């Protein structure tokens, strides 16, 4: 049963890129918790405010910001308290690990129901953790394992790159970490491709589940095909298929579209949802079969 959260004033930062505006935020919306699988990855707390409003049948219930805590405080009034915040230990940099236990426990006390470890340690591009398997196992044992049995713990979030990256890297990590008595409760993966690659999304997630036999979180789903392939129309059609399938698959526990930002899920003005964001927030296939997502049952 959804629960109503106290209203918050809505403010957002403005920016401009290229997504169709669709809806604007209420001045004083009422936020309602839900148990949907859909989540947000974001760098600005205020951009979570257009989701989970009363009367919108929202499926967005959680979010993360690649950090161990929210960027704002409750008194700021610029974050959506209807959403469950999930902390992430980005890598093993001492600036993060020195305060991780304190910050993670504070987040759990505030309602976090899981912890995530290491953002793309299999990759060394900008924004990736860039950690070896052995380094990751040691850090997981030291910083994640103390929370075993308190909340579910996620394996490092890997890319969908081919060997030695992605699931190959993760297989080695899980083998070594399991031998060291790590507790890993769910698998965390990222997926990027173009808007014609829906069957690849399905097969990749299925492979991750077949390999590891644990619940799956897909915490970044994004498009990388370029504007010629990934037109607004194509991406919206892809999203309708993707959210319908992900919501229907029992072993997929949570997932997040990349990214909750202007030019993507947020409109160009930064003051509400784009057309894509509206689909992500509340789309449900009108057909009994999730595969029929064009509305023509």
Helix (H, G, I), strand (E, B) or coil at 45: helix
In a domain, 287, yes or no: no
Q: Are 92 and 131 in contact (CB under 8 A)?
A: yes
Label residue 41 left, alpha or beta by phi (over 0 means left) and psi (-120 to 50 means alpha).
beta
| DSSP conformation class of 156 | P
Residue 94: partners with Cβ closer than 8 Å, 6 or more residues away: none
Q: Is the pLDDT of residue 108 over 80?
A: yes
pLDDT over 80 at 62, yes or no: yes
Point out the least confidently predicted range of 11-15, 135-139, 166-170, 229-233: 11-15
Q: pLDDT tens-digit profile of 189-248? A: 999 999 999 999 999 999 999 999 999 999 999 999 999 999 999 999 999 999 999 999
Q: What does the DSSP 8-state code read for residue 37? A: S
Nearest to 51 by CA among 14, 70, 18, 23: 23
- In the chain, the DSSP E strands lie at 4-5, 31-32, 38-41, 60-64, 84-85, 88-89, 116-117, 187-193, 216-223, 252-257
The total of structural domains in the chain comes to: 1
pLDDT of residue 287: 76
Question: What is the tens place of the pLDDT at every residue in 28-44?
Answer: 789 999 999 999 999 99
CATH number of the domain encompassing residue 131: 3.20.20.80
* Structure tokens, 144: 């994640």
- Which residue in 101, 178, 88 sits closest to 133, CA to CA? 178
More confident residue, 111 or 289: 111
Domain that holds residue 212: 4-282
Instruction: Kindly state whether residue 210 falls inside one of the protein's structural domains.
Output: yes
| Residue 273 pLDDT level (bands cut at 50, 70, 90) | very high
User: In the predicted model, is pLDDT for residue 80 greater than 70?
Assistant: yes
Helices 275-282 and 232-248 meet at what angle, rounded to 10? Answer: 10
pLDDT for the residue 3? 55
What local confidence, expressed as pLDDT, does residue 26 receive?
44
Instruction: Assess whether pLDDT exceeds 70 at residue 15.
Output: no
297 assigned to some structural domain: no
Provide the token pair at 103.
């910050």
Residues 6 or more apart whose Cβ sits within 8 Å of residue 211: 167, 171
Q: 254: which strand partners?
A: 217
Please give the pLDDT value at position 9.
33
Report yes or no on 62 lying in a domain.
yes
Is there a domain that residue 291 lies in?
no
CA distance 72 to 31: 18
Rounded to an integer, what distance in angstroms lies between the CA atom of residue 82 and that of residue 59? Answer: 12
Asked whether residue 285 carries a pLDDT value surpassing 90, the answer given is no
Burial of 94: CB neighbours in 10 Å, binned 0-12, 13-18, 19+: exposed
Is a pLDDT exceeding 80 seen at residue 159? Answer: yes
**Which pLDDT belongs to residue 290?**
60
Coil, helix or strand at residue 142:
helix
pLDDT at 77: 75
Average pLDDT, the chain: 91
| Number of other CB atoms surrounding residue 275 within 10 Å | 18
- Band (pLDDT 50/70/90 cuts) for residue 289 is low
Helices (H), the chain: 94-109, 133-139, 166-179, 198-212, 232-248, 275-282
> Could you tell me the pLDDT band of residue 76, with boundaries at 50, 70 and 90?
confident
């Amino acid at each position: 049963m959804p629960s109503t959260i106290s209203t918050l004033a809505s403010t957002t930062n403005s920016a401009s890129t290229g997504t169709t505006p669709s809806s604007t935020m209420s001045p004083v919306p009422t936020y309602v918790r839900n148990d949907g699988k859909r989540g947000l990855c974001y760098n600005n707390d205020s951009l979570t405010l257009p989701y989970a409003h009363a009367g919108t049948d929202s499926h967005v219930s959680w979010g993360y910001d690649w950090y161990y805590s929210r960027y704002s405080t409750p008194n700021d009034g610029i974050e959506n308290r209807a959403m469950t915040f999930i902390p992430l230990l980005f890598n093993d940099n001492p600036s993060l690990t020195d305060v991780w236990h304190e910050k993670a426990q504070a987040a759990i006390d505030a309602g976090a129901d899981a912890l995530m470890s290491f953002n793309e340690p299999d990759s060394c591009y900008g924004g990736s953790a860039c950690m070896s398997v052995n380094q990751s196992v040691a850090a997981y044992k030291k910083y994640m394992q103390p929370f075993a049995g308190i909340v579910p713990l996620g394996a490092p979030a890997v890319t969908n790159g081919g060997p030695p990256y992605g699931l190959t890297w993760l297989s080695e990590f899980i083998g070594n970490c399991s031998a060291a008595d790590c507790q890993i409760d769910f698998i965390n993966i990222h997926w990027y491709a173009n808007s014609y690659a829906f069957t690849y999304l399905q097969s990749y997630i299925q492979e991750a589940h077949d390999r590891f036999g644990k619940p799956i979180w897909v915490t970044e789903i994004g498009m990388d095909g370029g504007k010629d392939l990934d037109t607004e129309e194509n991406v919206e059609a892809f999203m309708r298929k993707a959210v319908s399938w992900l919501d229907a698959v029992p072993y997929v526990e949570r997932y997040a579209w990349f990214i909750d930002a202007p030019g993507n899920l947020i409109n160009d003005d930064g003051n509400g949802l784009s057309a894509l964001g509206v689909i992500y927030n509340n789309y449900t296939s009108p057909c009994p079969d999730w595969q029929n997502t064009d509305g023509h049952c």
